[in-house]
Amino acid sequence: MEMRMMMNKKMAISYSISELPDDFSDKEILEINPYVVLGVENLSNPNKSCPIEDFKLFNSIRMKKNPNITDSFFRDKDKFYRKLKSDYRANQERVISDIICGIILRELRNEKDKTKRLVFFITHRFDTEKIVGRLAYLNLPLNRITILFISRDITDFYTRHIVSPFDNKFDLSYLLDRKEDNIFGPYPEYGTIGLIRTFYKTFSTVDYPLRYPLRIDLFCQGLSNKEIESVKEEIKDDFLSEKNTEPEIILNLKGKNETRIPKVLCDCEKYIDRAKET
């Protein structure tokens, strides 16, 4: 069955990753409280915010800070701090990845309409790719599920997927020169083994002085080239079309420079931001 023949149920997953607390040096045990939310597209009233379900741990996860006395990191304070900060984030990523996999499996199991395809837009702020490996172990039926990791972090565009390594530009500078709605990819090109195919989406700047591109990573385990091309067309014509997206601020960039992300994901991101403030 071709993927475009199925009706899409669009959902979004976002999450919060905490930074190492300022008073970490006073604590022997650090607590980890990852926070994940699921939003479902509001088809009955697209102008209203989507319904959102949040997932919190019943009890915080406790992480021992002090290393063994023989740990080489203990003798170098800077190195120990970097290691601790990295471990603190990586442990959250592991927990968040497990929660996301549980959400996907639950939604797949609960969806009785087999003609409906579940489309997940997932915030991509991981430093590592722990979630991709976990998804691969699930052996998901990708004829019924499409998983797209969405990044609006400027650092994810300092790549050379599009431009040659011998060019004096990065992908970001190349994409900012594009003034129309377009999509580039997939990267790596067909013939390369991998679980992820990356696309870059540009937006029209006719009525806006500068609109940044968006990076989309498609989980493509077992998908044929034809199926990947079908998803690419849907990204351009549906998932990230003007009518189905809303403006959002680019991360790690000064000023209020914007890109566009799916409305349902935008609602989840705003929900997460409000939760951080409380």
Each residue of 2-22: pLDDT tens digit? 444 578 999 999 999 888 877
Is the predicted pLDDT of residue 163 greater than 80, yes or no? yes
Beta bridge partners of 216: 150, 199
Contact present, 12 and 262 (Cβ < 8 Å): yes
Question: Which domains, from first to last, does the chain contain?
Answer: 3-277 (3.30.2170)
pTM (two decimals): 0.90
Helix (H) or strand (E) holding 182: strand 182-187
Q: How many other C-beta atoms can be found within 10 angstroms of the C-beta atom of residue 206?
A: 9
Poorest-pLDDT segment among 10-24, 54-68, 114-128, 231-245: 54-68
